[in-house]
Chains A and B, each alone.
Chain A
Amino acid sequence: MSETSIVAIIVAVLALLGGGGFWGYRQFAKEAPVRKRDADIAVAEKSQQMALAVADDLREDYTRLRTDLNAEREERQKLTGRVDSLETHIREQDKTIRRLRDAVRLFTAAWDDLTSRWQHYRQSEHPPPRPNITID
């Protein structure tokens, strides 16, 4: 590329940007001037809008958290119900196991009695009495 074409490019770029800048300057001048106080008001308004946007975001967060909390509370209540019914179930099973142990103890005693008094029972007319056990 020759020096003439580079110079032409440089002049064209300068003319374009300089001309564009001056045109922008004229466009600005056509509008009514903005005073410092008004510009400060505009900035304050923007800050207020931003603060409101932040507050809105926080409110959305809060609503979402409240919904989540309610859902969690419902789940917890359901779980409490299940735990209560399980507790009752376990208590009943404990009772059954206790009764079964008692029964086993009675049967063992009856068996021991049968073993120790075998001679007597063998010669007796009647069988030994049935241990008194009731299991529901």
Chain B
Amino acid sequence: MPTHVFQPSRNPPRWWDRLLVHPLDMTVAVVAVIFGLLVIASLFIPEFIPSKSMDKMPDPVIILVSGFLGTGGFLSLVGLNWWGDKVSHGWSIEQFGWWLAAGGFATYAISVAWHYPGSAFSWGVPLSLGLGSVIRAVSIIMIEQSVRRTLAEVEDHKHE
């Protein structure tokens, strides 16, 4: 399986290395940010309607959904490209971001499905992105646990 993950040779990796390791995670996070920004922009520019189903929703819901998507996408990107020494901080931010993005995608999917139930692709895609975000959040929790477990094992070996 590691043969299917790009292995950067530079440490610390450059942004291009990060993109090659996480191309789809980065894309989904960027999509979430762009979607959040566009829907927020539509609140201030009445003639600009990026999503017909969101446009039919009350303003607080639009703010919530786009806020979750924008913030979630942004936090996911920050965590995914964490530059600090404490990587666990990057994990915590990223997983929080993915839960928010998952909420945003799922509720957007609910909104589209309610307004246009026949347009399965239009609500199926955001729903799938939401599911993917949840899986990514869970995988980060597992990465964190695995690293802590391995570190504990390494510590045990040192003391033996």
Contact = CB atoms under 8 A, between A and B. Distances in A.
B95 A25 contact: yes
Nearest to A16: B103
Contacts of A38: 147, 151
Contacts of B111: 6, 10
Given A13-B107, A35-B85, A39-B87, A24 B151 contact: no
Contact of B61 (A1, A10, A46): A10
Given A25-B92, A25-B96, A34 B114 contact: no
20 contacts: A1-B114, A6-B114, A9-B110, A10-B61, A10-B107, A11-B61, A14-B103, A17-B99, A21-B100, A25-B95, A28-B89, A31-B88, A34-B86, A36-B84, A36-B85, A38-B147, A41-B154, A42-B151, A43-B147, A45-B150
Interface of B: 2, 11, 57-58, 61, 64-65, 68, 84-89, 91-93, 95-100, 102-104, 106-107, 110-111, 114, 134, 137, 141, 144, 146-148, 150-151, 153-154
Contacts, number: 109
Interface of A: 1, 3, 6-7, 9-11, 13-14, 16-18, 20-22, 24-25, 28-29, 31, 33-43, 45-47, 50
A10 B65 contact: yes
A100 to B, nearest CB: 72
A24 to B, nearest CB: 6
Contacts of B86: 33-36
A42 B144 contact: no
Given A24-B92, A42-B147, A50-B2, A11 B64 contact: yes
Chain A at the B interface: SS class: helix
B88 A20 contact: no
B148 to A, nearest CB: 7
A21 B147 contact: no
B154 A42 contact: yes
A9 B154 CA distance: 46
B95 A24 contact: yes
Contacts of A18: 68, 99-100, 103
